[in-house]
Structure 1
Amino acid sequence: MSKSLFCGCDVASDNNTIWLMLDDGSQPVKLFSVDNNQPGAEILVERVYSIAKEHCVSDILIGTEATSMYDWHLLEYLAESKLALEFNFKLYRFNAKWIKNFKKSLTPRGKTDPIDSFAIAERLRMGRLPKEYVPDIKYQPLRKLTRFRFHLMQQIAREKDFFLANLFLKASAYSQIKPFGSTFSATSLSIINDFFSVDELAAMPIEELTEFILEKGKAHFSKPDEIVDNLKRVARESYRLKPELAPTVNLILASTFNNIRCYKEQVKLVDSAITENLKAFKHTLESISGIGPVYAAGILAEIGDVHRFQDDSALAQFTGLTWPKHQSGKFQAEETRMSHTGNQYLRYYLVEAANSVKRCDATYKAFYEKKYKEATKHHHKRALVLTARKLVRLVWTLLTKQVLYQPGYCSFEDLSKIG
């Protein structure tokens, strides 16, 4: 019978805390730490190697928590070490939430116990493990780009929220009336930045304000008089900001706008790099109307090898687009919430892609509208994530079968027969 050695690594930016455990739960050595650098990784390999030889171990399982990027170098190094060559060697990268919940089931061992490295080792020993961590240099460059784009889009969203909060101070009725439809259109931002206060806006003659709007909007507005009326209404209905605060608020708005503009320029550069990197991959995701190279890359980079997933349900579980049932005895909750676990990047790109596809594809548009009507609250959000779940099925099929999407095939079963 094979013997196993389980290694739990609690990874931090400066050091890694190691707990080794045998099949019976005993410790072959006491808890120890190594630096989180290459010399530290070399020490870890040598210690694990010597202990494995001493105890005649055939299987070595090493687990870490997915904590930012702190475990990335360690896992990549271990995957190519002599441990992988001489033993049945497996690496696992646990979702931190799994370990946190697993620790609650363990008997408290002291003020700070059970420590994370012990919990990881014990979790490895218990079995029913997630998919093995396998280094994949093929998808990593593209994945870094798409995740960086996600980061930029989050920054833009934060800056816009901050901008709107300060805009309320300058012109409280602006976001309520929305004279230009979009607060962040070029002409709208010119009005916000060029006028010192709502009093200045109110005092400006209608003819001059109309001329200003036509100039900034390059005469594209069909009803400039209506926009002027709305702007005058904004000036009438807004709270008056104290003069002492006006320069500060204007500076904040101008600086925040510059941040947004800078981030958008960065997004354009990243989108170009993503499109170029995507050319190295054979896929059919762009055959779906509404999915361009950026969304296709985001989905493809996070999925990696689609054959890791037995079916679309496994992919949905990986994504976090699942709705666990809540029941006890004969009781079953009528309302179920989305799990919000899994790969947040893949979930983001699938939801964004679904939002685009529903505007371009009749089948998905009808599905979205049906779910929108069925929802009792949060209509758009619920309908959109359900549409994204439907899209998961299509994505899994296209990548598995390597076929083009044909809108006439509405069901998964029909699409699976293509090719």
Structure 2
Amino acid sequence: MKKQLLSTLFIGIDVSLRAHHAVILDFFGNQLASVSFNNNLSGASLITSEILRTAVSSKATHVVTAMEATSFYSFHLCNYLFQSPELAALNIKVYCLNPKVTSAYQNTFVDMDKTDPNDAYGIADFARTGKITSEPFNGSAFVALQRLTRVRLHLVESLAREKSYILTNIFIKFSELAVLNPRDKEDNPFSNRFGATSVAVLTDYLSPDEIAYAPVEELIDFLCEKGKSRFSDPEAKAKLLQRAARDSYRLDKAQYEPLNAAIAASFNCIKSFEKEIKTIDSAIEKAVKGLSSNGYQCLLSIPGFGPVISAGIIAEIGFIDRFKSEEKLAKFAGLTWRKKQSGRLTSDITYMTKSGNKYLRYYLGEAVMSLIKNHNPEYTAFYHKKRNEATRFQHKRALALTSRKLVRLIYALLRNNQLYISTRGAVEATT
């Protein structure tokens, strides 16, 4: 092992949109090369030739290459170096590092200027000193699926943001609609601000005055048409709506038309986002079946796990044999907590690192909420137990701890290539 380290080259690459800079160090920290190259195929070929030349001159047998995961700029180079047949003979390992980690290390160089060569040197030295704890890059087999699952998250976040934004305009136009709360909520046509009936009320009527002074019979017919006659007592709902309109604040008449245009635009965006999410869901299901059908079926066997959640987890984990233990997988997801201790004092408050894969952490959280929604007794009980133990941030704390528990189950199923067994503890005992 010592001989291997002595014959290893450590390469740090500072990445950017147009060009990269690489610094090559030996085991003793001597700088053997410093080269800039373009962020394209020709540039990748150039740095490969430089690595091979340096390896021959220094008699190196192994190469460790590290770069920061700066947006998507590092993807092509990372994949190129990993797949290079020439570098495979040098047992190359390629790492995409969290910039937060490397930045903290480079801050220890107090007298060093902030330049691309110096940044590359800091990354190379970070690798040389054995600071890398993450798993190496393992190919791009899951990239296509990952693009789908991540764009779905982007659409979901955009949808949530649009829904949050439209509520401000809804309150300005029709303030009392936001506070309607009849006892029978399931039969309330206005409990869902984005349902067909609420949308029709907000877009078909110019102002609350038109509702307040409309005949009750007209409102009943309107609600029956838009609600497709689902309401048990449409007359009561019509009177409820009319009372809300009379109690709402009034605006100048000139303000209603542009406000209605803004509300209609937001509703169109919401409808578009929902449509695109359904399209992406179909594409995800199709992609994951052709890529990792066994792992996909293993996760689908868990009651509450649907196609999207299962595919999202598989896309971020990739090949499970990348991780030697479930602790490694949990660390990859950022579900670890740092202890704070000084002298005899140990803090009761510990913060989650969150330095791992945020997308995997998101899908684990969605999986936990799905398990609770589907009344999985084990995970529902654990979630509520941890929620009751907390004095603040109850939901976030319980969600994170339950996600950490779920990691053990997922790791066991994927590692053993087995389906979920409903008997409590049967699967997790195998870990």
- Distance apart, 1:199 and its partner CA: 2.4
SS of the residue aligned with 2:373? helix
Q: 1:147 to 1:401 in 2, by over 3 A?
A: same
- Distance apart, 1:113 and its partner CA: 8.2
The whole-number CA distance in structure 1 between the counterparts of 2:231 and 2:111 is 68
- Distance apart, 1:8 and its partner CA: 1.2
Equivalent position of 2:416 in the other structure: 401
Counterpart AA for 1:384 = L
- Distance apart, 1:103 and its partner CA: 1.8
Counterpart AA for 1:177 = L
Deviations 1:390-414 (A, max 9, x none): 2212111111222222222246554
- Distance apart, 1:331 and its partner CA: 1.6
Q: 1:264 to 1:370 in 2, by over 3 A?
A: same
Equivalent position of 1:242 in the other structure: 252
Equivalent position of 1:373 in the other structure: 388
SS of the residue aligned with 2:254? coil
- Distance apart, 1:79 and its partner CA: 1.8
The whole-number CA distance in structure 2 between the counterparts of 1:236 and 1:377 is 40
Q: Which runs of 5+ in 2 are unaligned?
A: 182-187
SS of the residue aligned with 1:245? helix
Equivalent position of 1:52 in the other structure: 55
From 325, 335, 339, the counterpart of 1:311: 325
Deviations 1:182-212 (A, max 9, x none): 2111211121222222222322233322221
- State the aligned residue count: 415
- Distance apart, 1:356 and its partner CA: 0.8
From 265, 272, 288, the counterpart of 1:278: 288
The whole-number CA distance in structure 1 between the counterparts of 2:174 and 2:54 is 69
From 6, 15, 20, the counterpart of 1:16: 20
Matched, 1:340 2:350: no
Equivalences for residues 148-167 of structure 1 within 5 A = 148-167=151-170
- Distance apart, 1:112 and its partner CA: 5.1
Equivalent position of 1:390 in the other structure: 405
Matched, 1:106 2:118: no
Identity %: 39
Deviations 1:279-318 (A, max 9, x none): 2311311111111111111111111111222332221111
Equivalences for residues 162-177 of structure 1 within 5 A = 162-177=165-180
Contact 2:135–2:323 (Cα < 8 Å) also in 1? no
Contact 1:107–1:114 (Cα < 8 Å) also in 2? no
Equivalent position of 1:211 in the other structure: 221
Equivalent position of 1:298 in the other structure: 312
What's the C-alpha RMSD, in Å, of the aligned pairs? 2.2
Matched, 1:198 2:208: yes
The whole-number CA distance in structure 2 between the counterparts of 1:381 and 1:222 is 38
From 184, 189, 202, the counterpart of 2:199: 189
- Distance apart, 1:177 and its partner CA: 3.0
Counterpart AA for 1:85 = A
- Distance apart, 1:233 and its partner CA: 4.3
Contact 2:163–2:270 (Cα < 8 Å) also in 1? yes
Equivalent position of 1:80 in the other structure: 83
Contact 1:103–1:114 (Cα < 8 Å) also in 2? no
Equivalences for residues 259-274 of structure 1 within 5 A = 259-274=269-284
Contact 2:79–2:139 (Cα < 8 Å) also in 1? no
Counterpart AA for 1:282 = N
Counterpart AA for 2:394 = H
The whole-number CA distance in structure 1 between the counterparts of 2:8 and 2:362 is 38
TM-score by length of 2: 0.89
Q: Which runs of 5+ in 1 are unaligned?
A: none
Structure 1 segments of 4 or more deviating over 6 A?
Answer: none
- Distance apart, 1:336 and its partner CA: 2.5
Equivalent position of 2:371 in the other structure: 357
Q: 1:86 to 1:162 in 2, by over 3 A?
A: same
Counterpart AA for 2:334 = G
The whole-number CA distance in structure 2 between the counterparts of 1:91 and 1:99 is 15
Contact 2:321–2:415 (Cα < 8 Å) also in 1? yes
The whole-number CA distance in structure 2 between the counterparts of 1:230 and 1:188 is 13
SS of the residue aligned with 1:62? strand
Contact 1:149–1:267 (Cα < 8 Å) also in 2? yes
Matched, 1:138 2:150: no
SS of the residue aligned with 1:310? coil
- Distance apart, 1:64 and its partner CA: 1.0
The whole-number CA distance in structure 2 between the counterparts of 1:223 and 1:312 is 55
Equivalent position of 1:124 in the other structure: 127
TM-score by length of 1: 0.92
